[in-house]
Amino acid sequence: MKLVAPSMLACDFGNLENEILMVNKSKADWFHIDVMDGVFVPNISFGTPIMNVLKKHSKKPLDVHLMIVNPDNYLENFSKLGANVLTVHAEACTHLHRTVQRIKNLGMKAGVALNPHTPISSLESIINEIDLVCLMSVNPGFGGQSFIENTYKKVVDLKSLINISNSNALIEIDGGVNSKNAKKLIEQGADVLVAGSFVFKSENPTNTISDLSALIN
């Protein structure tokens, strides 16, 4: 089963409760939630107040993507806010192994995100400890950017690292995902597709989610 995770960053925040209910009723598997601090990435998105609304209304797992410096200071906070998967950036963690252990000890699945320039080989010594690798297929910070084609090669390399290591890590692709690249990403080994603009800027987000899910399953 391959998963679709709509990125709430692209939803209508003036209508947040209804957007959450739409995702609840749709074929989506997870909520993807982008937390940006304006330091690790050149944009600020949202934090605790929006997370509280998501926690209150969502009926599907919350996949929280932290694009922040010093994520260690907030792991407990996001656990209390209902995160099921908590993803930190490898580039933001000096002691990534310790951070991953702490996420798991708090009862969450541990994800590690890699920026487009960060090689897959940087995960060799930790791939067996993590539940999910989020490959950034755009430079993080904004929705609506174009998919970086080199991601395909990274998916193949990551899948091979996972296989030779006997790791159970899921491969998530984040940024510029649409119906044109979804199938190839899955064929090359991706498990979870995040889609923001493609879903929420479409005429009928519910149908777009169903179509994407059908395309990859």
Contacting positions for ligand DX5 (CB under 6 A): 7, 9-10, 32, 34, 65, 138, 140-145, 174-177, 194-198
| DSSP labels, 79-99 | HHTT-SEEEEEGGG-TTHHHH
Respond yes or no: is residue 174 known to be catalytic.
yes
Longest dimension (CA), the chain: 46
Contact 106, 76 (CB under 8 A): yes
- Ramachandran assignment for 141, one of left (phi > 0), alpha (psi -120 to 50 degrees), beta (any other): left
* Closer residue to Zn ion, CB minimum distance, 2 or 165: 2
Count other C-beta atoms under 10 Å from residue 141's C-beta: 18
Respond yes or no: is residue 34 known to be catalytic.
yes
Among 34, 131, 172, 191, binds Zn ion (CB under 5 A): 34
Active-site position among 29, 37, 131, 174:
174
- CA dist 132 and 90 (Å) reads 12
* Closer residue to ligand DX5, CB minimum distance, 7 or 79: 7
Task: Please report how close the Cβ of residue 33 comes to Zn ion at its closest, in angstroms.
Answer: 8
Sign of the CA dihedral running 62, 66, 71, 77:
negative
Interacting partner of 205 out of ligand DX5, Zn ion, none (Cβ under 5 to 8 A depending on kind): none
Interacting partner of 196 out of ligand DX5, Zn ion, none (Cβ under 5 to 8 A depending on kind): ligand DX5
Task: Please report how close the Cβ of residue 68 comes to Zn ion at its closest, in angstroms.
Answer: 12
Report which residue's Cβ sits closest to ligand DX5. 196
